[in-house]
Amino acid sequence: MQLIRGFYSIQPLHRGCVVTIGNFDGVHLGHQDILAQLRVRAAAMNVPVCVILFEPQPREFFIGDQTPARIYTLRDKLEALAVEGVDTVLCLPFNEAFRSLTADRFIRDVLVDIMAIKHLMVGDDFRFGCDRLGSFVRLELAGKEYGFTVAHTRAVERLSGRVSSTRIRQALEQSDFDTVNTLLGRTFLISGKVSHGERLGRCIGVPTANLVLKRKCLPLHGVFVVRVHGLDQPYNGVANVGTRPTVGGQGARLEVHLLNYSGDLYGGRICVEFLHKIRDEQSFPSLVELKAAIANDIIQVQTLLTR
């Protein structure tokens, strides 16, 4: 899969594709259904599958820090899209200039002149362009004018409701990983590069792998039973997601203590799978009490994993 950042990197080989547009946060079962339909259409037309994304996401641009937490980082989203057979991702900067683009100019300048699309699939409630004046009906009319077809997505339902990123975020807030994994169609992971921390964990006898979470808002908080992938084998562990109030931490971080593992993880990339929540993140009066709490967390992890 190829990532294209901005219009100026588009080459002739990227034109004439089948396209969908959206946030695709989580690349969940509903998204996977859209991409499966696009793959069928692309194969019939012998053209590539393209997903158009925006960074920041439009809602993030308009409401800033009050935006809902992302399920996936951009990197994790791109990896999931690649697994789903997407050929090209066009990532466009959502800024004031783009926000001011009218619906008609978006159709003509982006979809027709730059991308020369053959087929477009979006939700029938899809809105676009300045002041969200563009609609599905406008796209259908434009398709007849410019020679591309338009189709709307179909709802995918699981667990007595429509699969959506909002439902997944709500389930993450409740640490309901069974629901999260069902709606995603895969296990929920947070991945990242292991960075150097303050080595406080090592000082209290509980060394941790530290992943700095470059997010404005976290999809979950607390202490969890986890399984870590990306090493010689999966390892069970206990993880804290939060700001580490006991040690005056700044910025969100994921800290993982791996059970029965010894080795240097610095600089490596790992994936942390979340299994159960143990407790909320707490501020302890001293490192001694923090160490005791972590020891109790490890006992709970071992108990839960042997059930």
Range of the domain at 39: 2-158
Please report the pLDDT score of residue 247 as a whole number. 56
Do both 154 and 196 map to the same domain? Answer: no
Over the stretch 82-141, which tens digit does the pLDDT of each residue have?
999 999 999 999 999 999 999 999 999 999 999 999 999 998 889 999 888 899 999 999
pLDDT digits (tens, 9 = 90+) for 8-44: 888 888 899 999 999 999 999 999 999 999 999 999 9
Share of the chain above pLDDT 70, in %: 93
Dist CA 162 CA 200 (whole Å): 44
- The residues with which 240 forms a beta bridge, in sequence order, are 223, 255
Task: Tell me whether residue 177 is in a domain.
Answer: no
Q: Which of 142, 158, 174 is the last residue of a domain?
A: 158
On whether both 130 and 257 belong to a single domain, the answer is: no
The verdict on 99 and 243 lying in the same domain is: no
Q: Which of these, 19, 20, 23, lies nearest to 72 by C-alpha position?
A: 23
Name the pLDDT band for 187 (thresholds 50, 70, 90). Answer: very high
Whether residue 149 is found in the same domain as residue 206? no
pLDDT in tens, 63-78: 877 778 999 999 999 9
User: Which pLDDT score, from 0 to 100, does residue 110 have?
Assistant: 92
Close Cβ partners of 119 (under 8 Å, ≥ 6 residues apart): 18, 19, 38, 41, 45, 148, 149, 150, 151
Q: Are residues 48 and 96 in the same domain?
A: yes
Q: Could you give the CA distance from residue 110 to residue 169 in angstroms, rounded to a whole number? A: 31
Residue 170 resides in a domain: no
- Longest CA pairwise span in the chain (Å): 71
Instruction: Indicate the pTM of the whole model.
Output: 0.91
DSSP-derived letter for residue 155 is: -
Q: Is the pLDDT of residue 285 over 80?
A: no
Is 84 found in the same domain as 133? yes
Q: Same structural domain for residues 147 and 272?
A: no
Q: Identify the CATH number of the domain in which residue 126 sits.
A: 3.40.50.620
**Number of domains the chain contains:** 2
Q: What pLDDT, on the 0 to 100 scale, is given for residue 298?
A: 87
220 and 90 fall within a common domain: no
* 147-163 per-position pLDDT tens digit: 999 999 999 999 999 99
Position 168 in a domain: no
Residue at 173 is within a domain? no
Q: At what angle do helices 177-184 and 165-173 cross, to 10 degrees?
A: 160
> First-to-last CA distance in the chain?
41
The domain spanning residue 269 has which CATH number?
2.40.30.30
Which of 19-33, 66-80, 189-203, 277-291 shows the lowest mean pLDDT across its residues?
Answer: 189-203
Residue 291 lies in a domain: yes
